[in-house]
Every structure is written in C-alpha cells, then in structure tokens.
Amino acid sequence: MPETFSSLLEAAPDAILVIEKSGHIVVANARSSAIFGWDPGELVGQLIEVLVPEYIRSKHAGLRDGYFASPHTRPMGIGLDLVAARRDGSTIPVEISLSPFEFEERECAIAIVRDVTETRRLGRELKHFNQELKRSNEELEQFAYVASHDLQEPLRMVTGYTQLLKRRYADKLDHEANEFIDYAVDGVKRMQALINDLLAYSRLSSRGKAFEQVDMNDVIRQVRATLRLAIEDAGAQVACGPLPTFIGDRSQLTQLLQNLLSNSLKFRREGVVPSIDVSAIRDGKHWRFAVADNGIGIDAAYAEKIFVIFQRLHTREKYPGTGIGLALCKKIVERHEGKIWFESVLGGGTTFFFTVSAKE
C-alpha cells in the first residue's frame, strides 16, 4: 500500500474499510478499532458481515452482491437508518458511504463508517426540547388569551361605575376629586387597550387564518382607506409602487402594513410634510418590502428593543400607544417565514424592511 494512501487512512476521523467483491476486508484503518472494537489487523481477511448485526447478517451477502453487480457511489447520510455490530455483540448507529474502488487490481469498494451515537442522542434531545418548547408556547398563548379575556369584564365594571360616579356626583365633588376620577377612567382605558393588544398578540399564531393568494396591491388600498382620516389630518403624501401577490394571511398582512404606516404618521417631524413610500422587490425566495418615511428617525441602539412587546422609546404623553405594534409586526412576518428590521437616521426618517416567503 502506498505510504501516502496509508497516512491518509490513519489520519481519517472515521473508520475506513476496503472490501473486495467476495466480501472480505482487505484494508482497515486505526479508527476501525475505536468504533468496532477489533484491531485493524484482526479485521483484515474477515467477511464484512462480521460487522453486521446478526439479525440482518443473512440478508447482507445478497445486498453486497447487488452492490457489486452495479457499483455506484452512495453518499454519507442519505436517510438510511443503519447499525453496525461491535466485537462484543453490541450495536451502534452509523452512517456509511460507499464508493467503487480498484485496489491492487481487484474490484473493491471503499466504505467510510461514521459512529453517530452522539449525533443521534443530540437529535433526540433537540426533538424533545422542540416539543417541550412548542407545548410551552401553546400554554403561554392560551394563558394570555384566557387571562386577557377574563380581565375584560371587571375592567368594564370599574369603568362603568367610575363614569357613573362622575355623572351623578360631579356637581357635589370638588375639582380635585373630579380630576382623580378622570385619572382612574384613563388608567382603566389604558389597561383595556393593553389587554386587547395582548389578546391580539396571543392569537396571531394559534388563531391566524389559513393562507391564501394575497394581492398586496389590494391590501395597501384597504390600509390607505382605513387610515384616510389620519393621512388627511397629517397632510401626508403616501406613494406605493407595484406590489406582488403571494401566499399569506390577508388579515395579518393588512395589520402589518397598517401598523407600519400608522407609525410613520405618528412619528412625523413638526413642520415637515410627512412622506411615506411603500415598495417591494424580489430577493431570492422572498419578497422584500420597504416602508420608508421622513419622520423623526430611530436610534440604531434600539434595533432589537423596538420589536419587544410593550417596549416604548417615548413617553405615553408624547406619543400614545401600548408599545406592542412592532412586536405584532415581527410575529406576523415570522409566521410568513421572513424577518423584519429597520434602517434610520435620527431626524432624517426611517425605512422598515420585512421579507415574506415568495410562494405562490
């Protein structure tokens, strides 16, 4: 055996066996010992079936003959659930690649055998972890839905009685007492808004509608109609290029664009005519959308924070809202196999980008 070939065999991290057409092993590297428990010299001369579990050993000779009748390369890890036998009779999961190989003028095959015991164990653990994570997420979504739903009734009662108290006794209470009642009503209304947003957030995945063909040109027309008064009040200019059609949840995609356009209208600069431009281009297997404005901009330091539920960058008094809009956008985009991010210049506007799968 050439010295270079021998050195390559011994340096390999997997067991490498050269098997002649008769089924006898003619070469075995050092790694074979660690995997199979045989010294390489003991394997040479034995039939390859010595490394095959007993319960399939009788069938293996026919499989081997079939391979040599039509030699071909079989890549590693093609989905076959294979096991190998060790010297002590135990079995281990393996992946095997086979290639036709001429050795010393004999028709042979070279087999590379990889012990995947640890890989399979990690795979089982990952599968179990994913199942637990899915179950936990489902429980959290259900909890958020039940909690937010059950909180609505007592809040409505508090609001009703507080407003009734003001109507009946406003003329009997001083200014400060009436002001306290207003604070209480305002606080309850904010809580109701938070609960409604939490309810919407919890239902995005579990109660989303079935995917269908969605023409985003129709969606943007609907969004502009919904926001017509806000657009007119801000004196905003909204431009939109041709948008694509793809498979998605129409109601969620409408909510996504409506949230982004609402943000552009809300965070506009004083003394500057608001300008919003919506566009989309094909990006491989995705459509990449851009919603660009000339508003107040966002500090790049908040690139991750703004997509977290209930995170706010400004006071409620200056810019109303619950701080859940962009978190909803992120969840909608992820349901459509995409991602969302932004580019911005403080005082110079913001462009939100998001991608969605381009499946039609």
The three-state DSSP-derived secondary structure of 301-312 is HHCCHHHCCCCC
Select from 97, 98, 94, 20 the least CA-distant residue to 53: 94
Q: Where in the chain is the domain with CATH 3.30.565.10?
A: 208-360
What is the four-CA torsion angle of 32, 34, 37, 40, rounded to 10 degrees?
Answer: 40
Other Cβ atoms less than 10 A from the Cβ of 9: the count is 21
Mean pLDDT of 209-220: 90
pLDDT band at 19 (very low <50, low <70, confident <90, very high): very high
CB 37 within 8 A of CB 88: yes
Check pLDDT > 50 for residue 155: yes
Bridge partners (DSSP) of residue 213 are 247
pLDDT band at 154 (very low <50, low <70, confident <90, very high): confident
Pick the CATH number of 123-207 from 3.40.630.30, 1.10.287.130, 1.10.1660.10, 1.50.40.10: 1.10.287.130
Mean pLDDT of 27-50: 92
Check pLDDT > 90 for residue 238: yes
- pLDDT per residue over 42-51, tens digit each? 999 999 999 9
Q: Classify 3-115 by CATH class.
A: alpha beta
Q: Quote the pTM value.
A: 0.53
- pLDDT per residue over 68-123, tens digit each? 999 999 888 776 788 999 999 899 999 999 999 888 889 999 999 999 999 889 98
Greatest Cα pair distance, the chain, in angstroms, is 111
Please report the pLDDT score of residue 207 as a whole number. Answer: 58
CATH 3.30.565.10 fits 208-360, yes or no: yes
Mean pLDDT of 305-320: 58
Q: Which residues contact 155 (CB under 8 A, 6 or more apart)?
A: 188, 191, 192, 195
